[in-house]
Every structure is written in structure tokens, then in C-alpha cells.
Structure 1
Amino acid sequence: MHVPDGFINAPVSVAAGVVAAAAVAVSLRGARRELDERTAPLAGLVAAFIFAVQMLNFPVAAGTSGHLLGGALAAILVGPYTGVLCVSVVLLMQGILFADGGLTALGVNVTVMGVVTVVVAYAIFRGLLGILPPTRRSVTAAAFVGALLSVPAAAAAFTAVYAIGGTTDVPIGKVITAMVGVHLLIGIGEAAITAATVGAVIAVRPDLVHGARGLTAPLKLRVAGELVDAP
């Protein structure tokens, strides 16, 4: 889904850049409330993990391949504001180091793959947690659904951008059919990776998972044969 240079015209690319810059600015302020001395290192690890896993592609239909976008994973593990920052940094580094997405299209890529995926995934995730039982399995299931739907949502957002500022002659109907159809399948891989990773972290350190903080039981210590809350 990385948009190359010249695929979207200059006015729309500039507008998307403004949207992306505003989202990053808001996220910088919001991340201060999400991160502390325990979770700040996790944000760096999440960004590094997304960067590495995005290098790995898995096959989907019609000879195409897909890879993790990471918005849902980042939002659930470290929070939506920090999640936008993590994905934005990954996209910036990929554009600079590997020309994976054009630098003039960085605003489009951040808006579509960073902002849209995080917002959609986290909204669905929180909505499902509001109706599911308060268990760790519910967190993993909600993460799966949020990640699954965030990918075609990003594809639809890109199609909207293309409809406004696309520079090729491909009909919009073919673009939305190809993008949303293929990315529905990619969403399955995204959901599986996200759910597996969230589930693994919850199993070891549930206190570090932003999306599971309300479900984390207090740490207990055995004192004189009795369990008491840790200070």
C-alpha cells in the first residue's frame, strides 16, 4: 500500500502532508499521557518490530503479496497516540532507507497507513471490549477484529485519496475493487499477527499492554501464608 512519488498529485499530497503533520503533533501531546518509565521502552520495541515484520511479505490472491501494517498492533500495545508515532517513524525510515513509499507521498502514507489504521482498529477494539467479558481472551479477540477491519479501511481511505488526486488513468471502480478486495485478505494476516503478538505479551506482561490495563489483576504477594496486594 506504500504510495510512490508522483502517484498522487501535488495539491492532494500537500493536503495529506498537513493532515499527517497535525496527527503527529496531536499524537506527540497524547503520547505523554500514555507512556511512563515502564512503557516508553516498549514503544521503541514496537516500532522496531513493525519495521522488521513489514520487511516480510506473505502471499495473497492473484500472485500478490502483503505485509503487516502495524497500526492495530501499536495502538493496542502502547496506545493510539503512541501508535501513530510508531507507524509514522517506521514509514519515514522505510522511505529514506529503502525508497519504500515516496518521500513526497509520505503524508499520504502516514495518513492512510498510520492514522486510519490506528483510529479504526482502536475504535473497534474499544467498542468490542465494551460488550465482551473482561478477560484476556476478549482482548485478543478484539485485537483480531480491529486489525482485520483496519486494513480494508486503510485501502478504502487510499481509494478516496486516489479518487481526488490520482495521476493515472485507472478507473476508480477498478481501484477500489482491487484495493479493498486484496486488502481484505491481507487483513486476515494482519489480524493473525496482531492477535498472536498481543496474546503473547499479555501472557507474560499484561501490565504493559495499553489495551488491557483495565483488565490487569493487581499483583499479589504471599505474606505469612496469605495473598496480599503488592504495594
Structure 2
Amino acid sequence: MRTAYSAMHMSDGLVNAPTSLVFGAIAIAGLAVCLVRARADLDERTAPMAGLVTAFVFAVQMVNFPILPGASGHLLGGALVAILVGPWVGAVCLAIVLAVQALLFADGGLTALGTNITNMALIGVFAGYGVAVALRAVARRSRGGLVATAFVAAFVNTVVASLGFVLEYAVGGSGGASLGAVFGLMVGLHALIGIGEGVITAATVGAVAAVRPDLVYLLRGSRPVLVRRAAPAAGGAA
């Protein structure tokens, strides 16, 4: 039952019109700041990576994984994009994914697009990146440390993004459920979804780092534990 999870991909009518307008304005303001700051992060490495990350998140979000009987989840992608291309570019990438899904696939309501962008592209991305930065020393130590950091950041990103929905429902919820029930359902389900999110994020970040660690935004400026060794020269010289 996708609807058990789709409260994160909010549909029309879950919050009232004034609340939708307020968080729509927050989404627009937040994305405007991200666009300005993203210009400094976009270079010959980040720009192609941003396109690949956007396409990857869009594709993976279309695939659900079961978490409980009758409930399923899919990748949010906040920590993933933040670790690979940075929070400013990552927020823009995820906002593009959410807008395309709402406009072309009816995944999330049009009036709820602002709340969805606020929760997943702003709150989720920056929560995940904050955790990743806090654990950056661990991530730079080894590939295992990077994978563990990605898992934890993705788990936290998922749960914190769900709290964004709880806040919006507390401000102007019109779904008929009590706030306590909404809080318990959202946090409980997204704690489970966060495990799947963590596994996918850790596997993806680890795969990129294994081939091109220089493309991982979180590792910029790190010394070469994760950097590929140069191929030995002819005659066996290292």
C-alpha cells in the first residue's frame, strides 16, 4: 500500500490552503538561496555529476521496497545528493525530481509541492549533510568509514524529513487524524524506511568512491586514503 508511505510525498488536502501557501513560500525562498550558492559549487566535475544524481534519484524513487505488511517506502535521496554534490546543488536536484514527479506522474499533489520540497529537498538534504559533516573525519579515514557515514546520514535525513510533515500537519492539518497518531505513524514508519534509505545511500556512495573518490563532495580536500593508487610504471616502479 503506497499510501502508507506517501504521507511523505504529500497529496493535496492533507494540510489547508494557508499552510500550503506558507510552506510554498518557504520552498521558493530556500531554493532561491540554494540556486545562488550552488553556482559556486558547480564546476566541470560537479555539473555532470549533478545531472547523473538527479536522474538516479528520479529512477530509484520509482521503486518501492517493503517495510511492513501493507506498507512500503522508497528512497528520499537527501543525504545521497548532499554527500555526492553538496547541499546547495543537491537541494536543487531533489526539487527538480519532486517537481517532475508531481507534474508528470501525479506523485505528490500540486498544492503540496511546496511542502514536499520543504521536507525532502530542504530539511532532508541539510539534515543529512549536517550529519555527514559531523562525521566527516570518520568518512575520510577509510571507505568503510565513508559508507557508515552515508548510512547514518541517510537514516537521520529520513526521520527528520518526516518530522517536517508532522510540523506542517500541526500547523494546518486537515486529514482528520490526531497529531499524536500522525507523529507516531510518521516517525515509526520512517525509522524503518530510513534503514532501506541508509543501505541504498551507503551502497551508492561507496560505489562512486571506489571508482572516483574525487567526485564525492564530502571528501573534497581529503588526503588519499580513498584516492586511487596510481598505476605502477613500467619495470615495476611504484
Report how far residue 134 of structure 1 moved. 2.5
Report the 3-state secondary structure (helix = DSSP H, G, I; strand = E; otherwise coil) of the residue aligned with 1:60: strand
Report the 3-state secondary structure (helix = DSSP H, G, I; strand = E; otherwise coil) of the residue aligned with 2:108: coil
Q: Where do residues 162-177 of structure 1 align in structure 2 (5 Å cutoff)?
A: 162-177=169-184
1:168-218 Cα deviation digits (max 9, x unpaired) = 220000000001000000000000000000000000011111011232537
Report how far residue 23 of structure 1 moved. 1.2
Aligned residues: percent identity? 52
| 1:36 has 2:22 as partner | no
| 1:190 has 2:204 as partner | no
| 1:14 has 2:21 as partner | yes
- Is this contact kept in 1: 2:139–2:147, CA < 8 A? no
Report how far residue 135 of structure 1 moved. 2.4
Q: How many correspondences in the alignment?
A: 227
1:33-89 Cα deviation digits (max 9, x unpaired) = 212012201101100000000000000124100000011100000000011001100
- Is this contact kept in 1: 2:138–2:145, CA < 8 A? no
1:151-172 Cα deviation digits (max 9, x unpaired) = 1111111101101111122000
Q: Structure 1 residues 34, 184: CA separation in 2 closer, same or farther (over 3 Å shift)? A: same
- Structure 1: distance between partners of 2:47 and 2:122: 20
- Is this contact kept in 2: 1:117–1:150, CA < 8 A? yes
| 1:146 has 2:135 as partner | no
Report how far residue 224 of structure 1 moved. 8.4
Q: Which residue of 1 aligns with 2:59?
A: 52
Give 5+ residue unaligned stretches, structure 1: none
| 1:5 has 2:6 as partner | no
1:129 to 136, 144, 149: 136
**Once structures 1 and 2 are overlaid, which stretch shifts more, 121-130 or 64-73?**
121-130
Report the 3-state secondary structure (helix = DSSP H, G, I; strand = E; otherwise coil) of the residue aligned with 1:104: coil
TM-score by length of 1: 0.93
Q: Which residue of 2 aligns with 1:74?
A: 81
- Structure 2: distance between partners of 1:175 and 1:6: 15
1:113-161 Cα deviation digits (max 9, x unpaired) = 1111111111011101246662232222111100011111111111011
- Is this contact kept in 2: 1:18–1:107, CA < 8 A? yes
Give 5+ residue unaligned stretches, structure 2: 1-7
2:164 to 133, 143, 157: 157
- Is this contact kept in 2: 1:13–1:104, CA < 8 A? yes
Pairwise CA RMSD = 1.8
